[in-house]
Chain A
Amino acid sequence: MLSILGLTRRFGARAILHDLALDLGAGEYVAVVGESGAGKSTLLNLIAGLDVPDGGQIRIDGTDIAALDEDARTRLRRTRVGFVFQAFHILPHLNLAQNVELPLVLLGTPPSERTVRVRELLTAVGLGDREASLPRELSGGELQRVAVARALVHRPALVLADEPTGNLDPDTADRVLALLARAIKARGAAGVLVTHSEHAAATADRVLRLDHGRLVPA
């Protein structure tokens, strides 16, 4: 699924990531921890194709995204990657079904198929009966669950989660993390969880620490 080799990214004279390597297969769920400013966000940006490395390769499903131009990376991201953000970023003017189907619209999926998959995912995250609800009617935890559904609806090869529970209370956070792990595994995707919470990182299969630009087992 995801294969990173020799990844280097510098900002000015400072090397944030230095000769980083990572291998993820389908169903593998890894957590990356580190202090603030260590480079976790940078790593995520590079994997997502939002940034270009100074050196090294990033392969998603065999394709080296570092060699692609921006639009190509964006299109790849569209099909291959799902995102869960810390601040939910659920569009408040769309109802839950519309929010979840958004990635499918971007792919040109026919409406009938969209309806089916949206229902499937919302049910999977426990919000199957709230399809037509508006985001303002939901709590933070419920919104993050919608975000999880959205991240998975298009069957991405890779799911990236950036501090998904940063805005949630501990109980809700646990439930969401469990859901995320389950959902990733169930669909055979690879998952990368970036967090500074050891507790959250523990929900993943492996925990890696970003230390001086490299990933080391935590």
Chain B
Amino acid sequence: MSALRGGPGPDPRRRALLFALAMAPAWRWAEGGVVYPEVRPRPLVFPRDHGAHPDYRIEWWYLTGWLDAEPRPLGFQITFFRTRTPIDPENPSRFAAHQLIIAHAAIADPERGALLKDERVARAGFGLAGASEADTEVWLDRWSFRRSGDGGYACAIPARGFDLRFTARPTQPLLLQGTDGFSRKGPEIEQASYYYSQPQLAVEAELTREGKTLRAPGRAWLDHEWSSTLLDPAAAGWDWIGMNLDDGSALTAFQIRRRESGPPIYAYASLRGPDSPQVHTFAPPEVDFEPLARWTSPRTRAVYPVAQSIRVGDRVFETQPLFEDQELDSRGSAGAIYWEGASRLSEGGRLAGRGYLEMTGYAAPMRL
């Protein structure tokens, strides 16, 4: 069974059903000559599942956080993507771009009012870029993100315009999203991903910009997710929040928005209290995203609801961006334009936590 540190999870009958489905021959999703395995519910095994899953089409390790810097806090976001390309899998060349590693890094400094960012892309191989299957270890030239034996993470991003290095230590157990890590993304059963989070990471960071180095502690949130198909064809994109609440809780919520107007295709949220390992998950009718403020990108003319009111069950939270222009144009690497903003969380008018709000598919419908 699973070596999870989580609790009993959903009721046993449902679990059995899901595992039964896993045994059945899964029909595969194919592109070109490549066949991508489907996401079926299965127990997540660690540390193996900290590592990469090269057969699946897309995977990411996505870390967002806040640094308590003087005089103003900073937001930071590091994402390492791994994608399996549809090129002919028969190609034996070591250079064949079967796997691509893409990395984004962005620093949100309210004083600048815009993101300081960099992106890289390379094909995996020759030790120059790759993702280990044994544990979380992903690198691209000199950018790296690695999980060490004691469970802590180390990250080094010598980017253009800044140099960020930090360690992140888990202060809480791993959080399996969805049903034991099987996270649905749409009404169809195959629209799903494997998804777990590490919220409330204690960060010690060193950021060098323009020759000046600052050291600051902070709080971060890591998502590791992998899948072959995530999005319904009718989807435009998603809105997602990962919030470290001040009381030690961890809040995740997302909705998959429709291209045409109408209710979201899917929505989900999870909330875990500071002491209890129990994860409360919420299904579509219980999760609601309502825009509070909008911002238009001067570059892409996309209109983002940069502040949102999010109802999770019977609690209502509000997000407030650190600043408005936190749009990322990653067409050079990941091929997408999205808004990834450090945001504060408040509940009932009082500050409740900090984290990130991510919104995709506003400039153009997302394709994954």
Q: Do chains A and B touch in the complex (CB under 8 A)?
A: no
